[in-house]
Every structure is written in C-alpha cells, then in structure tokens.
C-alpha cells in the first residue's frame, strides 16, 4: 500500500526547494500549480511521519515489555494509534480525481414543477453562492434565464478557488451534480398543500484552452436578441449568442452580457467544459474505469437529494445522510453534506466498489 510513499516524500522535498526559488514565482500560473501540489502532498508526508514515529514507539515498547511489565500497558494504545494513522494514510494515498484541482462551471436548471421548480432553482443558486462565499471562492454568473416569479429557468456560473487553496472547487462541488428534489408548500399554492418539484444541477470542471482542441470550423454561431421573463425582448440588438458544436451536437447559449463578443466568450467557456467532460467520459468508458461516484456528477436522471421544508430536513440518498438543519444548508452550510459524500466515495474506493 505504501510503496509510493517514499517517491512522494522525495517529490515533496523537491517542491519545497523549487518554491523557495524566487525565479519560480515569476510565472504565477506555474507557481500556483506547484503550490497546490505541495499542499496536496503535505498531509501525506505529515501522516507518514506520525505513522513511522508511532511504529518505532510501538516496537520499542514491545521489546522493553519483555523486561519491564510497565511497558505492556502502553502497547494496546500505541497499536491502536498506529492503525489509526495507517488508515488515514490509506485514504490519503487513494488515487485522486484528476480534476480535483480545477475550478468549475455549475449549471442549475428548473425541472418538474413549473414556476415552483424555477423558484427552487433560484434557492439552489443562492445556496451555492453562499457556500462559495464561506469558502472564499470567487463566483461569476455566466448566463441566466429568469422566470416570471423571480426564479430561474436556467443559470450558469463559474466558481474559482483562491490561488492559495490546496484543492480546487471540483474537489467538493463534483458531488452536487444530479436531480435535487424539494418538498414544500409553493408560494402559488392557495390551500397549503405540499408539492414536490425538482431542479437539475450539472457541475463541469472548467477546461483550459490547451486541454480541449476546439476547431471553430466545427462550431456554428447564431446570434439573436436577448429575452427576459415571459419571453419579452430586453435588447434591441442581436447580442445573444448560440454555439452549436456540430460533431457532438452540444448547444450552448449566452445572453447575459450586452456585448455579442462577451456572450460568445462566455459560451465558449461553457462549451469547452462540456467537451472536456464528454472526452473524459468516453476515455473512462473505453478503459472500463468509470466509477459510480463520477457517473453521479454528470447524471441528472438520478435524484440525489431531497429538501423537505416541513421537517427542516436535508437527505442525501447516495450516502444515507440525513440532518434537520435545512435552513442552515440553504444558507450555504453545506460542509457536513459534502463531507458525507466524500467519506462515502473514499469508503467505496477502499473497498474496491467501482
């Protein structure tokens, strides 16, 4: 299990030397990449050191116990701690998702339930905005189509981590992809009956231009006038842009910006992200290594979570997580829910449940 630890320790030491060189920081992008890798390896190195030290103490206590009975009492506690750090090291050495260091594009779309679903999509957007704020991430709305009552038919936003963060946004938000179901009394309900509706969330790792070969000859560009709630025109010029990637049939529209050029750039960001995911999915299928947790991040057909307002309950059906602090979760306190998903993903990986 620990065959690669020495290699990682050597890499950690090499990164430490390189990051101490001022010349490395002349390239901010390269320095950020090295810094993230250094921060990623830090917990592995620290845990291995602790595991090794406790192992030495355990060996010494076992040897001395043969001559002095007072050392026997220390052996069970040292053995338990040694195994505890071994388990932690096993988790840290699990293969990382190659996208974990990436920023993301997150899309929320209204589903079943009409206007109520659009209002719920707006609630989900606010939840993610608040969560990003709590973690110090930067958010940017790329495109949005509002509903008549103030919710969203669909909305796309970019979420970026701070340069100092050891992990990217994908590391935590990848578990949000899927169908989110809400059970509550809609504002449009006059008799107080609880309705069930749903909204879909899609999380995409944001692609850099070098990662996706996008030939603009394969992209059809259409322009049209922006529209607001109810379909009314909100612009007198053809500033909205629709991109169609002809080889895959992927369609992306953006209309938020007043400039046609800006809308095109935003649409290209979303298109690159979708093409990256499509390419990764295809590669994983060919290799036969598409894990269930990764399927969930892009599959909207699976209902992953229920938000029950009457009971103030949040339930994640993938890991059997349940809590009665829905109001806090909707205010951005998502840590416990996401931690449960991460723990479930790690447990599945350790057991070989692919």
DSSP string, 87-149: HHHHHHTSPPPTTTT--EEEEEEE-TTHHHHHHHHHHHHHHHHHHHHHHT-EEEEEEEEE-TT
Q: Which residues contact 133 (CB under 8 A, 6 or more apart)?
A: 139, 332
Q: Is 253 helix (H, G, I), strand (E, B) or coil?
A: strand
pTM of the model: 0.68
* Rounded Cα gap, residues 332 and 309, in angstroms: 16
Task: Yes or no: say if 227 and 238 are a contact pair by the CB < 8 Å rule.
Answer: no
**Nearest one of 158, 149, 143, 154 to 121, comparing CA atoms:** 154
Angle at 216 between CA 213 and CA 221, to 5 degrees: 135
Query: Which residue bears the tokens 């989900």?
Result: 124
- Is residue 117 a contact partner of residue 106, using CB atoms and an 8 Å limit? no
Angle at 251 between CA 245 and CA 255, to 5 degrees: 120
Cα–Cα distance for residue pair 53/72, rounded to 1 Å:
18
**Residue 136: which region, alpha, beta or left (left: phi > 0; alpha: psi -120 to 50)?**
left
The per-residue pLDDT for range 257-282, each reduced to its tens digit, is 878 888 998 899 899 888 988 887 77
CA distance 266 to 257: 9
CA 290 to CA 303: how far, in whole Å?
19
Hey, what are 4's tokens?
């690669």
Helix axes 5-19, 28-65, angle to 10 degrees: 130
Tell me whether strands 178-184 and 303-308 are parallel, antiparallel or unpaired: parallel
- Give the Cα separation of 106 and 282 in Å (integer): 21
- For the chain of 354 residues, list the mean pLDDT of each consecutive stretch of 10: 80 93 86 82 92 93 85 90 90 80 91 86 97 95 87 92 77 92 83 87 80 84 74 61 92 87 90 86 56 37 86 95 97 96 85 62
pLDDT score of 73: 86
- Mapped onto helix, strand or coil, the DSSP state of residue 296 is helix
Q: How far is the C-alpha of 89 from the C-alpha of 189, rounded, in Å? A: 53
The pair of structure tokens assigned to 319 is 């890991």
What pLDDT does 288 receive?
A: 47
How many helical (H) and strand (E) elements, i.e. helices and strands, does the chain have? 9, 11
Contact in structure between 170 and 98 (CB atoms under 8 Å):
no
CA nearest neighbour of 294 among 258, 351, 227, 341? 341
* CA dist 157 → 146, 151, 230, 341 (Å): 14, 15, 22, 22
In this predicted structure, what is the pLDDT of residue 77?
A: 92
Give the separation between CA 215 and CA 268, rounded to whole angstroms.
Answer: 11
- pLDDT of 285 reads 63
């Amino acid at each position: 299990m620990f065959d690669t630890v020495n290699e990682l320790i050597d890499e950690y030491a090499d990164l430490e030397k390189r990051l101490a060189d001022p010349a490395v920081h002349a390239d901010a992008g390269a320095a950020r990449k090295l810094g993230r890798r250094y921060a990623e390896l830090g917990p592995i190195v620290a845990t291995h050191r602790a595991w090794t030290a406790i192992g030495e103490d355990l060996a010494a206590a076992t040897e001395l116990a043969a001559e002095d009975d007072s050392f026997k009492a220390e052996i069970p506690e040292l053995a338990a701690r040694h195994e505890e750090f071994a388990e932690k090291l096993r988790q840290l050495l699990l293969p990382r998702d190659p996208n974990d260091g990436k920023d993301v594009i997150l899309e929320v779309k209204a589903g079943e339930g009409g206007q109520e679903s659009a209002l719920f999509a707006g609630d989900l957007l606010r939840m993610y905005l608040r969560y990003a704020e709590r973690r110090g991430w930067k958010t940017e709305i790329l495109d949005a189509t509002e509903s008549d009552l103030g919710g969203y038919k669909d909305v796309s936003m970019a979420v970026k981590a701070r340069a100092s963060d050891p992990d990217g946004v994908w590391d935590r938000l990848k578990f949000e992809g899927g169908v989110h179901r809400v059970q509550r009394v809609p504002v449009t309900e006059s008799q107080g009956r609880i309705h069930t509706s749903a909204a879909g969330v899609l999380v995409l790792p944001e692609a850099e231009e070098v990662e996706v070969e996008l030939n603009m000859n394969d992209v059809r560009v259409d322009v049209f006038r922006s529209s607001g709630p109810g379909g009314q025109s909100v612009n007198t010029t053809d500033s909205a842009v629709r991109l169609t990637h002809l080889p895959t049939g992927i369609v992306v529209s953006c209309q938020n910006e007043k400039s046609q050029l800006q809308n095109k750039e935003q649409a290209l960001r979303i298109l690159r992200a979708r093409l990256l995911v499509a390419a990764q999915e295809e590669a994983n299928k060919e290799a036969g290594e598409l894990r269930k947790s990764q399927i969930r991040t892009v599959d909207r057909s699976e209902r992953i979570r229920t938000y029950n307002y009457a009971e103030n309950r949040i339930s994640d059906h993938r890991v059997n997580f349940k809590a009665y602090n829905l109001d806090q979760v909707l205010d951005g306190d998502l840590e416990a829910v996401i931690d449960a998903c991460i723990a479930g993903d790690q447990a599945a990986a350790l057991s070989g449940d692919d």
